[in-house]
Amino acid sequence: MILLWGLPLDGPLAAVHEALKRLEVPVVLLDQREVLRTDIELVVSSKIEGVVRTCDLTIDLSRVTAVYLRPYDSTRLPNVRTAGSGSSAWYHALRVDDALWGWAELTPAVVVNRPTAMASNNSKPYQSGQIRSFGFRIPDTLITTDPSAAREFWATYGTVVYKSISSVRSIVARLTPEHMARLDTIAGCPTQFQQYVPGNDYRVHIVGNAVFACEIVSAADDYRYAGRQGAPVEIRSCELPNDCAERCRALAAAIGLSVAGVDLRYTPDGAWYCFEVNPSPGFTYYQEASKQPINEAIARLLAQ
């Protein structure tokens, strides 16, 4: 039995669910919206066993052969938020999440992806160290609380972007003269600056040994938010050079990710830069444009 955990309308989860149904394999969706009606029992010794119960389902976790994890933070679900931080509903949601994440660490089932493996993206500079060891270039980076160091770095590279250090999502943006006046505020918290790397963006989805590459053509600093800059985005399927594809595959495997979204940029002088490896990629954005059957590949990975 294959277990899906998340919100039914989440794009990647729904796409994988549909693909699994077409494969006619046993699949069960643990709807995160049912968190306040979800009970869990776990028993751990040299193995892990347990049961998850909702109003409609009883899932024997020992029978789960594969699991696809796409949950959001349950405390942000409307009914939990309404109950409020510190309420019994809020604590229950936390305990459900923690129990299921803990089970996902230990179950012998195929897990896409194990929580520990996904954590490498919690620190982008940490992950950059892993990326560099696989032969990709990474942008020269400064993390600083020192405004004078930021100004020096800016002067060195001419064009510089800033982005979050953690996985808390932020928009990548170029540093502009307007930022100069408030650069002193970086003393309060380490801030990450990177040399701007010109070139074309590529998103590479790794699914097991399969590689799905897309070229993204956009003039925006961060193509995910190109609409805000009034910049069009074109996404098209492409082939990567073999050595680059192999490095993406090896990088994802080394981090422990059987499904990953690798963000690359190819420069005019022929260098491949890698910005990050997304451990829970929202692949449907790319699949809709490229027509690549990524959900089918994930379904086959789970079903094998």
Partner 1 sequence: MLVVVASRHDEPAKALVTRWAAHDARLLTCEDLSVAGWRHYSDGRRPSRAVISGREVGVEEISGVLTRLPCVVEHELTHIIPVDRAYVAAEMTAFLTAWLTGLRCPVVNRPTPTCLSGPNWRPEQWVYAAAQVGIPVHPLHRRVSLGSQPGSAVSHSKPVTVTVLGDRWFGSVAPEVAIQARRLADAAKVELLAVRFSGPDPGCSFVSANIWPEFGSDDLLDALLAYLNEKRRTTY
Give Rg (Cα) of the chain.
21
- Binding-site member from 8, 26, 72, 106 for partner 1 (CB under 8 A): 106
- Binding-site member from 82, 85, 88, 176 for partner 1 (CB under 8 A): 88
- Binding-site member from 28, 165, 173, 238 for partner 1 (CB under 8 A): 165
Contacts of 148 (CB under 8 A, 6+ apart): none
Q: Is 171 in the site for partner 1 (CB under 8 A)?
A: no
Q: Is 271 in the site for partner 1 (CB under 8 A)?
A: no
How many residues touch partner 1 (CB under 8 A)?
Answer: 57
How many CA atoms lie within 13 Å of 261's alpha carbon, on the beta-carbon side?
16
Q: Is 239 in the site for partner 1 (CB under 8 A)?
A: no
Q: Is 60 in the site for partner 1 (CB under 8 A)?
A: no
267 vs 140, 223, 262, 270, CA distance in Å? 14, 16, 16, 5
- Binding-site member from 18, 21, 73, 126 for partner 1 (CB under 8 A): 126
- Binding-site member from 11, 125, 135, 199 for partner 1 (CB under 8 A): 125
Alpha helices in the chain (DSSP H): 11-23, 78-83, 88-106, 115-118, 124-132, 147-157, 177-180, 242-255, 284-290, 294-303
Q: How far apart are CA 90 and CA 93, in angstroms?
A: 5
- Binding-site member from 98, 234, 239, 243 for partner 1 (CB under 8 A): 98
Shortest CA distance to 87 belongs to which of 99, 98, 74?
Answer: 74
Which span (14-22, 85-93, 266-274, 286-294) binds partner 1, by CB under 8 A? 85-93
Walk across the sheet containing 272-278 and list its strands: 234-238, 210-217, 200-207, 259-266, 272-278
Please, what is the minimum distance in Å from the beta carbon of residue 24 to partner 1?
A: 32
Q: Is 149 in the site for partner 1 (CB under 8 A)?
A: yes
Contacts with partner 1 by CB under 8 A lie at: 36-48, 88-89, 92, 95-96, 98-99, 102, 105-106, 115-116, 119-129, 138-147, 149, 164-168, 187-191
